[in-house]
Structure 1
Amino acid sequence: MPRLAANLSMLYPELPFLDRFDAAARDGFKGVEFLFPYSFAPEEIAARLRGNELQQVLFNAPPGGADAAGFERAWADGLRGTASLPGSEADFRTGVQWALRYAEALQCPRVHCMAGIQAKSTDSHTTISAASSVYESNLRWAAQQAAAAGVDILIEPINTRDMPGFFLNRQDQAHAVVRAVGAPNLKVQFDLYHAQIMEGDIATKIREYLPTGRVGHFQIAGVPERHEPSVGELNYRYLLNVIDDVAAACGWDGWVGCEYRPQRGAVPNGTTDGLGWRP
């Protein structure tokens, strides 16, 4: 069975963020992930991890901005990363440096750098070309910085329904970027929810991409509502078995992040009561 990590940005929404670590541990999770840690001192989060014997497995680099307050404003203003945005290289580098400091404090081996939403242009070919060049250059720099810290940089294709204009949308695009950059610690964050919406054929893609060594992390949620994996059109019991079988054959030992919104919402025990889907 793949190792499951609770996404604390989505699960246990009825609780303050720092209390969600305790709840995840009580429910038997051994790993956690979340979007952003920057509103809290790294020491606070590290203490919650230690106190609950939890492994931090993933979080995101800032979405934009130059400091903790700026990161929050950037997200509120709709920024979804700067990696592919020409002219935002300084913010990207600042964000990666912040993320690596937190990764060290939290002993987290993976940081996701969001690609960003492209501005609309009448010359889409030129826009895509410029964005691709900046994207690969930024990721190459980030991977070099992260390698010294023993951290993997991840990129994630995100569906265009939830995030219109996002630069990276498909698994084949992401793997082409990883090959082009050529850094061994640059990997793909394979979110089965986004992949099902954009392209489907999930089991085949797991079998195709996981043995390449380019997949650093999986995430799951029910499609289309993004509730528990048992709710929706995907057979997650089957897909988790596929991950398990392929992982055993190729030696992959990563995590599967549970990045979904509990169907019952922010009610007491709403997340816990919905965990019956776990094998």
Structure 2
Amino acid sequence: MILDLPHGPVRLAANLGWMFTELPFLDRFGAAAHAGFTAVEYAQPYRHHPALLRKQLDQAGLRQVLINTPAGPRESPTALGAAFIPDARAEFRDGVKAGLEYAQELGASVLHVMAGLRPVGCEPDRAFACYVANIVWAAEQARGSDVSIVLEAINKRDQPRYGLSSPEAGAHVAQAAGTDVVGVLFDVYHAQVDRGDLLTRFDSLRNDIKHVQIADNPGRGEPGTGEVAYGTVLGHIARSGYEGWIGCEYRPVGDTAAGLSWIEELAKEQP
């Protein structure tokens, strides 16, 4: 879906893990297409064979934009990723390999490598060194695959122990990897909860940003339900020359399709 703004268009992708949850997962592809989306993202494709997911994409005329690396079992140490956990290196590497295989099968150009939680009792420097080494290894696996690795921070209010706490830290790790294969996922919701100052921070990270996700705050609902001035934010992103997709990773406050009126409202706001 294209949102035309005065300084250029922005491309919106539906996140099927958060949107259209009124429907079974496989039915969400058609619903997204019917609503006008031409691209989708979702975190965890691994419960389904990639051929089945590819069929859903093709039938709906959709492009897959992004997936995450596999999450460990619920309540396990790797439930939010394994990259920060020194004792989970084998699980991390298996997950990256699976993520790259699925990304290539689905045609996704972006793989979010989840950092995971800092292990209780593990020295912070050791956990961070493990994370950097793991990302460097993941970048080597992705080299030549046309799949970019992205790093996303989660704010400390929602997840105090998450390893990567700011997009700025993610940019430092991406730069340490020494390759343009690795970049930052700039999540507007997490950045706003973290400390705001969205436009300045977006500009400072612009060269490292490979994907953007949006939701409002508080509540993590659709744009227009909270405090973020999304007309300004999305206009700024368009003006920056960012040409990637913007994932709508929000929790609709009501019916998903009805809630998409925010897109039309933003278009009307523009001079």
Normalised TM-score (structure 2) = 0.91
Contact 1:170 1:199 in 2 (8 A): no
Aligned with residue 49 of structure 1, among 45, 57, 79 = 57
The residue type equivalent to 1:235 in the other structure is A
Give yes or no for contact 1:206–1:242 (8 Å, CA) kept in 2.
no
**In the alignment, what sits opposite 2:258?**
273
1: CA distance between counterparts of 2:28 and 2:60?
11
Decide whether the 8 Å contact of 1:103 with 1:111 is kept in 2: yes
Number of the residue aligned with 2:3: none
2:158 is aligned with 1:168 = no
CA offset digits 1:135-191 (Å, max 9, x no partner) = 111111111111131110111010112222001111221111111121211010000
The CA deviation string for residues 184-211 of structure 1, in whole angstroms up to 9 with x for no partner, is 110100000000001210011122221x
Mapped partners of 2:43, 2:156: distance in 1? 19
Identity %: 40
How many equivalent residue pairs? 255
Distance in 2 separating the partners of 1:172 and 1:215: 10
Q: Which residue of 2 aligns with 1:105?
A: 105
Residue pair 1:114, 1:156 contacting (<8 A) in 2 also: yes
Match for residue 245 of structure 2? 255
2:212 alignment partner AA: F
User: What is the CA deviation profile of residues 198-233 of structure 1, one whole-angstrom value per residue up to 9, with x for unaligned ones?
Assistant: 1210011122221x2x10100000101001111101
The runs of at least 4 consecutive aligned structure 1 residues that moved more than 3 Å come to: 75-78
Distance across 1 between alignment mates of 2:159 and 2:37: 29
| Equivalent of 1:12 in 20, 29, 33 | 20
In structure 2, stretches of 5+ residues that fail to align are 1-8
Deviation at 1:76, TM superposition (A): 5.1
- What is the aligned partner in structure 2 of residue 198 from structure 1? 194
1:130-141 equivalent positions in 2, closer than 5 A: 130-141=126-137
Corresponding residue of 2:114? 114
TM-superposed CA distance for 1:55, in Å, is 0.9
Whole-angstrom CA distance in 2 between matches of 1:19 and 1:119: 37
Counterpart AA for 1:40:
H
| Contact kept? 1:6, 1:257, Cα under 8 Å | yes
2:215 aligned with 1:221: yes
SS of residue in 1 equivalent to 2:21: coil
Q: What is the Cα-based RMSD across aligned positions, in Å?
A: 1.2
Over residues 32-87 of structure 1, what are the superposed CA-to-partner deviations in whole Å (9 max), with x where a residue is unaligned? Answer: 000100000101110111111111000100123xxxxxxxxx13546200011111
CA distance in 1, matches of 2:84, 2:67: 19
Amino acid at match of 1:98: A
Paired letter, 1:108? A
Q: What 5-or-longer segments of structure 1 have no aligned partner? A: 65-73, 265-269
